Chain A
């Protein structure tokens, strides 16, 4: 998977708080079971939030437009995903990058999302 190598580098990164956006992303992503990077006015972000809430998950949402460093984070995310901004919403589960909306949808449909959530401790059934 194309994101695999990048993911490994995160675990190698220093645990100290770094201003490097990528590291910040990684730090934020690993703080909670489900992390969503979003923009408050984005309707697709709203959709993904509703999706998780509908499943009973309580994701941690970082509104990039409220964050002073938001633009850097967005650029970093774009680099991660290999697309041009705007890139939100971006979902991390258990510190692992899941992707944008279509990846989340696809993984939900093919049944891989729920096990991931359970594994990350976001869902109990």
Chain B
């Protein structure tokens, strides 16, 4: 609520209560619950007109009659008509200095009351007060009842400046119970007030900080959620790249979906094998699985037209997969090596065919790799042609021509990625040809499980316990725990409050 926030913050502390009695009609008051509580100590009335004191038993609205008379008022503001009826208490005391206090507390004690108070300095301190005053909304009939204390409904809370306090003390403030306080006590009380005020300010600042952090956290989570659904985050590793092309982002999202479905296919295979299905049924599961791989190759081929780099750099996979990637995916001969032990028993014919498959895929891989390497050599030669030490601007035409050639070379990257995927696809299909249905099921299960383990390795590695794990870890599971750690440390810091 506005009135909660508009409490004095950072003011140099020169708040004065105004005495209606002394001024004209309006006076403004600041009220603080704690202030009131502090002022609950009876203050002797030897210091002059006594303002009402806040009784500790009356939390929300306080009536603290200022202990010191207001010298003068510069701003007339309608005082707050507070709802409480401390009035009566004060009126008995308020003979001289009358203050209208608007009671607003940062704790929202005045539930809903719109109190507009403006403190202004008086005399020497007026300037200071002006500086940091906070205007609180107020409504309420201005109190102009002269000697009449603030209207019955207006609790009075006084907010005093310790500087003027002394003067006022001298002026003789009395508490409503008539007890006179000596200077020392008043000084102590004033210091307590100051300390309390500072404490309140700090607490308020902390609360605000918490609020903003909470809001920021919510926004972050929201963005995270949104970005994930848009595929900007990688599956399992949470890395974000601001430079991803839209096609790449879409592909990442598609790949995430593909992975989920692949998990389902793998469990179907496992279930089918365990259930010892007849070959026809198992065969359909196997073929579904292979078709599923085909869709992935199709997706990759589509992305290769626009963003071959994304496929080759492997940002769509987990770090471990990416590290050992070959031309944007798995190396077919490696795959054959992985699955062969799990296919036993194999007939001799199958063994021969598998061996020749492995050999041909190795030859094909080697040939592709050599072509890719030649592409790299050409590109190197092109980019390093011409003087490398000169600035671009010096020889723009040469630079442009150079870039054109380089771009033409790069365009064949798409070809290589597609040929590599084509090779992978052919290898999978050939495996299906060579193997029986059950063996094919076991083969696909093995492939699925192998890559699942590789992905798990990535996330386990990323989330391994490390010291000072704050901030820039890429693994998403860490983010939440980090934030919690930060929040806990913040709580610890402010536990004094």
Chain A residues at the B interface, C-beta cutoff of 8 Å: 41-48, 50-51, 54-55, 101-102, 105-106, 108-111, 113-114
Evaluate whether A47 and B360 lie within 8 angstroms (CB atoms) in the complex, with A41-B378, A42-B412, A109-B423 already known.
no
B367, A50: Cβ atoms closer than 8 Å: yes
A102, B363: Cβ atoms closer than 8 Å: no
Pick the contact of A51 from B364, B418, B433 — CB < 8 Å?
B364
Tell me whether B430 is interfacial, beta carbon within 8 Å.
yes
Shortest beta-carbon distance from B139 to chain A in Å: 80
When chains A and B are docked, how far (Å) is the Cα of A44 from the Cα of B368?
Answer: 8
Chain B residues at the A interface, C-beta cutoff of 8 Å: 353, 356-357, 360-361, 363-364, 366-368, 370-372, 374-375, 378, 409, 412, 415-416, 418-419, 422-423, 426-427, 429-430, 433
A109, B366: Cβ atoms closer than 8 Å: no
B427, A54: Cβ atoms closer than 8 Å: no
The interface centre, meaning the residue of A43, A54, A102, A113 with most chain B CB atoms within 10 A of its CB, is A43
**Cβ–Cβ < 8 Å partners of B429 in chain A:** 110
A48, B367: Cβ atoms closer than 8 Å: yes
Closest 8 CB pairs of A and B: A47-B371, A51-B367, A109-B426, A43-B375, A50-B370, A50-B367, A46-B374, A43-B371
Shortest beta-carbon distance from A49 to chain B in Å: 8
Pick the contact of B426 from A42, A54, A101, A106 — CB < 8 Å?
A106
When chains A and B are docked, how far (Å) is the Cα of A108 from the Cα of B375?
Answer: 23
B424 to chain A: closest residue by CB:
A109
When chains A and B are docked, how far (Å) is the Cα of A51 from the Cα of B368?
Answer: 8
B419, A101: Cβ atoms closer than 8 Å: yes
Shortest beta-carbon distance from A103 to chain B in Å: 10
**Cβ–Cβ < 8 Å partners of A44 in chain B:** 371, 412, 415-416, 419
B423, A105: Cβ atoms closer than 8 Å: yes
**Cβ–Cβ < 8 Å partners of A109 in chain B:** 357, 360-361, 364, 423, 426-427, 430
Shortest beta-carbon distance from B333 to chain A in Å: 11
The interface centre, meaning the residue of A54, A101, A105, A108 with most chain B CB atoms within 10 A of its CB, is A105
B416, A43: Cβ atoms closer than 8 Å: yes
Shortest beta-carbon distance from B169 to chain A in Å: 94
When chains A and B are docked, how far (Å) is the Cα of A19 from the Cα of B390?
Answer: 49
**Cβ–Cβ < 8 Å partners of B364 in chain A:** 51, 105, 108-109
